[in-house]
Structure 1
Amino acid sequence: MRMSLDLQHLGREEEALQVAEAALTDPWVRHGDRLALQRRVLRLGKPPRRWRRPPWAASAQAEPREVVVSATMIKGAAGFKSCFVVPPARNGSGGGGGGGGGATGVPRTACVEELALLHYGSPAGGGWRGVHSEGGVWTTLWALLCWDVLFMDVPEVFRSPFQTAPLDLDTDAFLPARREAVDARLQLIASGGAPDLIRAVWSRRVGTWCRGVNWERLTLDDLLQIAGCVGGLGLSVVCRLLCEDAGGWRGGMPDLLLWRPERGDAMVSEVKGPRDRLSDQQRAWLAALSAAGVRAEVLRVVEAPPPPPLPPPPRPCAECRPAEDGGTQQGTVTTSARSCTAGGKARRRRGAHVCGRRAMAVPIVCEGTEGVTGGCTTDGTGEGAVVAAASVAVEAHSGMEDDRVVINDDDDDGSGGGGEEDQQQLQ
């Protein structure tokens, strides 16, 4: 892999592609390293370098199902794990080995894995039971199911009665020395014999130290439920991979193991924060479990957008501010005169305050022209004294007991020229 990268950086992309293709023919290249080389070959082997796509192209480019959950992130120091705020509606709604619980009504902080467990434990997330183990449950199941294989009598692998695992466990010599026993055990697991194997080993060996086994994390009933939900095929695939290369496949296991006993199904989930991405080893595990019939997905926690800022409070006009703030506390209003079509003097009873608060309808009363007793109508015909209601937005000052405004026309010629700025009188 490194040689191919160096050749590409030197501009020798054809040689980089040939090195990656040659590495894929090596049977000892496994798990995430093999997937990384396959994806590299697909990136470099585009036409015109390579016209034919390899048969494994679709599986190497397959992306796992992704679920996105947004949460408010707490800014912390560099190098520390990201934390998020759990709202009261989610707080206590699920997670851990025991499933759901009631909401506490108080927000709290949680890491991405805790937030994911709360999401999956909620009704909207599926009502799953789950545990954050990063492979601890898988290695426990593997050791219980293959206990006799791990501790079978093989020359030179046990030098002390206090060993927790054979000396060749993390080497390539483990599987060849036990191939027949491993194949028989995998066949038994795939055929549905996992629960009986777990019960037998638990009754005889509970509390015995063994590498990868945690006797206290989950109870026997929990392990039996998980084994029943995962199924024989999924368990046999996990055991086969760990028997082939325990040191290589022990890393990159999914963060969460989820199960629903009432439905008999299980799921694994890899949790990623806002700036995380899947490694090739994690992709290899998700692909292997998905091929074995175990539902696999990625839950990505993204940072929720900040709430919009609150608008600034309205600032009162100069006349409404107190004297110490440079105001006069006068409630002055601003409006303009409106002329009657018959030439009369218009009088507006309410005007618009400068700093304003609320809107209301403004009646305009025509006082009629000089010598006309009946006033006028809204169309200026001069018949009858009517009130013309105009919906004008005005703002009433809260401290004014009576904010009526009388606008007197100073023109004596009766022309009704009320369009100019008129004198305002606060009554």
Structure 2
Amino acid sequence: MERRGESEQAWPLLIEALSSPRNAAELQGFERLRQRLGKRLGQAVPPGPRAPAIPTFELLLPRPDQGSVEFAVAEYFASDEAPVHYVENLLFNGLLALLCWPAIYAPLPGAFFHPFQAAPADLYRSDFYQRRRALFEACLASLESGDYRDRILETWQLKQGISSPFLYWPLLTRELVGQALDCLEPLQLRACFERMLEDLREYRSGLPDLIQFWPDEQRCRLIEVKGPGDRLQDHQRRWLAFCIEQGLEVAVCHVQWQEAP
């Protein structure tokens, strides 16, 4: 309707849609549309929500002979006291699956058709979480009761090597899982998992590239890496903002390559 110039007809539909967006991506799109239509129609439109300030690094690095820009930044920041891992979406996806395996793989009607199915058939349906709500709540409750660590490590041991869209076993080592559980607070994990379960198709991606651990201090930092000419995407900005809201330390690192002598 906007593209057809039907601004007056679109306005009431937009206001109605703003009252119940499906997810943060849809809300962001509606807010941008409200700014454009409001300007055309002379409507008083409040400014959209202000994004939190994200700490940013500008690095000038020698171009590596092999490997990606993410590995170059990981090597730059890493030390014996503060290791850095290139995890992108795989760490939080893996931790979610290891904690909530009984809920994700519950044998609900219509979810599985053969024994080698890597994921339930309704994984990306809008009612995936609701159909298993009680099971997920029981798993997430362990983040408050304190036995989540034992549950995650036990599942890591029992399910090792089993195919799952949430798990990339070569990355998800016992060392990485242990460091994550030492340095990520359980309530932060719960907030991230609940966000992912809101809309798995939308929220399983967009997480920062790197994670740096300070085991002695039991803290960590998530780092999004951008190489020359690259920029933050909307879903990445939303995840960074969400992490800041939850008290997670984050940063964006913009890299330029040094000119060869």
TM-score of the alignment, normalized to the shorter chain, above 0.5:
yes
Question: Shift in Å at residue 190 of structure 1?
Answer: 4.2
Question: Shift in Å at residue 261 of structure 1?
Answer: 1.1
Q: Hey, what's the Cα distance between the residues in 1 that align with 2:257 and 2:142?
A: 46
Q: Hey, what's the Cα distance between the residues in 1 that align with 2:56 and 2:7?
A: 33
Question: Shift in Å at residue 302 of structure 1?
Answer: 2.5
Q: Who is 2:213 aligned against?
A: 259
Q: Who is 1:204 aligned against?
A: 158
Any conservation in 1 of the 2:21–2:27 contact (CA below 8 Å)?
no
The number of residues matched between the two structures is 261
Q: Who is 2:104 aligned against?
A: 150
Question: Shift in Å at residue 146 of structure 1?
Answer: 0.5
Any conservation in 1 of the 2:124–2:200 contact (CA below 8 Å)?
yes
- Structure (1 or 2) with the larger CA radius of gyration: 1
Moved more, 210-219 or 298-307: 298-307
Change (3 A) 1:214 1:305: closer
Question: Shift in Å at residue 201 of structure 1?
Answer: 1.1
Q: Who is 1:195 aligned against?
A: 149
TM-score, length-scaled by structure 2? 0.85
- Tell me the alpha carbon deviations over residues 210-252 of structure 1, each in whole angstroms, 9 at most, x when there is no partner: 2221223232232022022111122112221222211111222
Any conservation in 1 of the 2:87–2:171 contact (CA below 8 Å)?
no
Map 1:274-313; keep pairs closer than 5 Å.
Answer: 274-304=228-258
From 90, 95, 117, the counterpart of 2:74: 117
Alpha-carbon RMSD: 2.9
1:236 partnered with 2:190: yes
Of Structure 1 and Structure 2, which has the larger fraction of its residues in helix? 2
Any conservation in 2 of the 1:158–1:166 contact (CA below 8 Å)?
yes
Question: Shift in Å at residue 177 of structure 1?
Answer: 0.4
Q: Runs of 4+ in structure 1 displaced over 4 angstroms?
A: 12-22, 42-48, 303-307
Q: Who is 1:67 aligned against?
A: 57
Any conservation in 2 of the 1:14–1:49 contact (CA below 8 Å)?
no
Question: Shift in Å at residue 169 of structure 1?
Answer: 0.9
From 10, 24, 49, the counterpart of 1:31: 24
- What stretches of structure 1 of length at least 5 have no aligned partner? 73-83, 86-107, 308-427
Q: Who is 1:136 aligned against?
A: 90
Q: Hey, what's the Cα distance between the residues in 2 that align with 1:40 and 1:207?
A: 46
Q: Hey, what's the Cα distance between the residues in 2 that align with 1:161 and 1:187?
A: 29
Q: Hey, what's the Cα distance between the residues in 2 that align with 1:190 and 1:287?
A: 24
Q: Hey, what's the Cα distance between the residues in 2 that align with 1:120 and 1:46?
A: 45
Percent identity reads: 29
Change (3 A) 1:122 1:261: closer
Question: Shift in Å at residue 287 of structure 1?
Answer: 1.4
- What stretches of structure 2 of length at least 5 have no aligned partner? none
Question: Shift in Å at residue 39 of structure 1?
Answer: 4.4
Question: Shift in Å at residue 305 of structure 1?
Answer: 7.0
Question: Shift in Å at residue 45 of structure 1?
Answer: 4.7
Question: Shift in Å at residue 16 of structure 1?
Answer: 6.8
Higher relative contact order (CA 8 A, sep 6+): 2
